[in-house]
Structure 1
């Protein structure tokens, strides 16, 4: 590989646009090509790129296969609808290309695991863009939890709600839950052993939708419960039809609560205190809270830099590898099974 990593971006929708912004400003990356089936997007992008002073403007194409066949290409970034991930990522890996993929890695566990095996065989790096795992507040929170600052961990809760964006390819579970599950897994250093989910549909009552649906369509509201090997339980509220925008997650322990509130000016707060009991009377004591300071870096920028480092060292990601992505797909698949069966608990294999 030369001094710069030659990359191609597949998909310039809402998230692909953010990825492109970071790739174009990375001094160690050269964007060779951009592929998207939407001609209007490509036309708008051509106008934007023509205003930049670059060594060479990227090739714009509606044919992703021709982009993958470009000589000297080192890696691809996949930011296309989830239903297309498996075929695109597999084609890239089989051609010896490193891959950074938008979440979820795939829509089935078997496909996700297969991609991880292909990456291993091809000696290619497969990294999944679980952006929150690169958020400075999440990384700082993990250190606090693992250091025992909360005492004995008891339970967790999270809410991720807003009015849209409404997806047409996956439901609110597959679109939103993966963020909070990834954070809980990361902070606890565990993966769930049992899950439950219940969903409600209002907007897309279309039983012909082929993937990630309940029997009545794409769920707009989903309630999730996760049970971990330690007995810790977490509840997650997900909805893309709720005007009350929330991006909040907490873990409660015997000595305090750690809260990540993405919408707050200072997102990570440690609330400390405990209940002291005498003669069946419980009194709050040692109450105080403090803001946990974090670095100021855009998480997506950190994702791109991490992917570049993995490729340069040809070393698997220790934060968000394909295997991490496959674990999260397994949790989502089990939650979908639970939702389709009316919320019954579903066990996950260890």
Structure 2
């Protein structure tokens, strides 16, 4: 039985505690939060869970085998390192750290101590994304041409990170999982409409070897909420709309057909192919439950998480390069 401690009982913490409480091979033994009212809520809902105001006190609890961190990104490195050095397995919210250098230190520390380091890339554990991953892996989409996503809404403005680190991190983790390759360079543009605050809308382009390209539009200042991704392959195309109650994934048998380049005449070289659209059936199991079970299983078996420290580090590399590009008004930055 793996003893779980959750640090941070704010927006995401309650979901983590609830889902880890349902995992057969785990039990939540501790929750850390500086706010007395949050600790009181935990004590009322989970009478057997010990609460702490200081993470250092929690790390002395011998019943804690693994620590799950759901705090602002600025605290991720320090809390994760303290937990690893105390011999605890770690699952940390995304982005894993605020710098590449800190991410590299965490990956090295976990490897040296033989501990599991996992990043909470929740979306890759959704049935929708896993179905798309299956389609890509089976070659049903053909050669991948582009990945294009939009994630916009009105709020919530963050004060410590830009919209790229807050919203684009979700889609970057999905892209990393689906494409299975890292970009060679990135270019980002954006603007802060509130003086003295981080960039609140941005456009990020990732360039890869070959003809694949990825583009992300993220915005805290939009009149509507949009969570849509288009993935185009040479054989089929996919639309992933996370706000759809059903049919979140739609597969289109559409594309182009290239004619004979040596053909003489008035026929266009590019033709169009239109076939059926189908929506695969998706599992309704909560993604965080799947992820929690995966984390515990990796601890028990010593296997590598699908969203391990290396995956988290790849995303931080992209975000750090994108931040540099923002300061250069969109000039490409190599990774």
TM superposition score normalised by structure 1: 0.89
1:19 corresponds to 2:16: yes
- Alignment match, 1:335: 322
How far 1:178 moved relative to its partner?
Answer: 1.3
Shift of 1:255: 2.5
**1:195 alignment partner, one of 171, 186, 190:** 186
**Distance in 1 (alpha carbons) for counterparts of 2:86 and 2:103:** 18
Shift of 1:121: 0.8
Deviation, 1:126, is 0.4
* 1:295 counterpart residue number: 283
> Which segment is superposed worse, 28-37 or 301-310?
28-37
Range with greater deviation from structure 2 (38-47 or 255-264): 38-47
Aligned partners of 1:58 and 1:337: how far apart in 2?
43
Is structure 2 residue 152 aligned with structure 1 residue 151? no
Structure 1 unmatched runs, 5+? 51-56, 207-216
- Alpha-carbon distance in structure 2 between the residues aligned to 1:274 and 1:74: 51
Question: C-alpha distance in 2, partners of 1:124/1:302?
Answer: 20
- Mapping of 1:171-190 within 5 angstroms? 171-190=162-181
CA distance in 2: counterparts of 1:165 and 1:47, whole angstroms? 29
Summarize deviations over 1:266-299 as a string: whole Å, max 9, x none.
1111111233457127553342211122222111
1:288-330 per-residue CA deviation (whole Å, 9 max, x = no partner) reads 211122222111111100000010012221x100111011100
1:322 aligns with 2:313: no
Aligned to 2:252: 271
Q: Give the Å deviation of 1:144.
A: 0.8
Shift of 1:90: 0.3
The range that moved more, 300-309 or 35-44, is 35-44
TM-score, structure 2 normalization: 0.93
Do structure 1's residue 165 and structure 2's residue 145 form an aligned pair?
no
Residue of structure 1 in register with 2:301 after alignment: 313
- Counting matched residue pairs gives 327
Per the TM alignment, residue 254 of structure 1 is displaced from its structure 2 partner at its CA by 2.3
User: What aligned pairs does 1:1-350 form with structure 2 within 5 A after superposition?
Assistant: 4-50=1-47, 57-203=48-194, 205-206=195-196, 217-264=197-244, 265-276=246-257, 279-280=267-268, 283-317=271-305, 319-348=306-335
CA–CA separation in structure 2 for the residues paired with 1:275 and 1:251: 15
CA drift at 1:29 = 1.6
Q: Is the 8 A contact 2:43 2:49 kept in 1?
A: no
User: Structure 2: how far apart are the matches of 1:294 and 1:325?
Assistant: 26
- Of stretches 143-152 and 9-18 in structure 1, the one that deviates more from structure 2 is 143-152
Q: Distance in 1 between matches of 2:199 and 2:164?
A: 7
CA RMSD after TM alignment: 1.5
Partner SS state of residue 73, structure 1? coil
2:81 partner SS: helix
Match of 2:262? none
Q: C-alpha displacement at 1:154, in angstroms?
A: 1.6
Contact kept? 2:67, 2:83, Cα under 8 Å: yes
2:29 and 2:63 in contact (8 A); partners too: no
Q: Flag the 1:260–1:31 CA change in 2: closer, same or farther, 3 A.
A: same
Shift of 1:235: 1.1
Question: CA offset at residue 129 of structure 1?
Answer: 0.5
Whether the aligned pair in 1 keeps the contact of 2:42 and 2:49 (CA below 8 Å) is no
Conserved in 1, the CA contact under 8 Å of 2:30 and 2:64? Answer: no
Shift of residue 164 of structure 1? 2.1
Distance 2:21 2:156 in 1: 26
In the aligned structure 2, how far is the partner of 1:283 from the partner of 1:75? Answer: 56
Structure 1 runs of 4+ with >6 Å offset: none
Gaps of at least 5 residues in structure 2 are 260-265
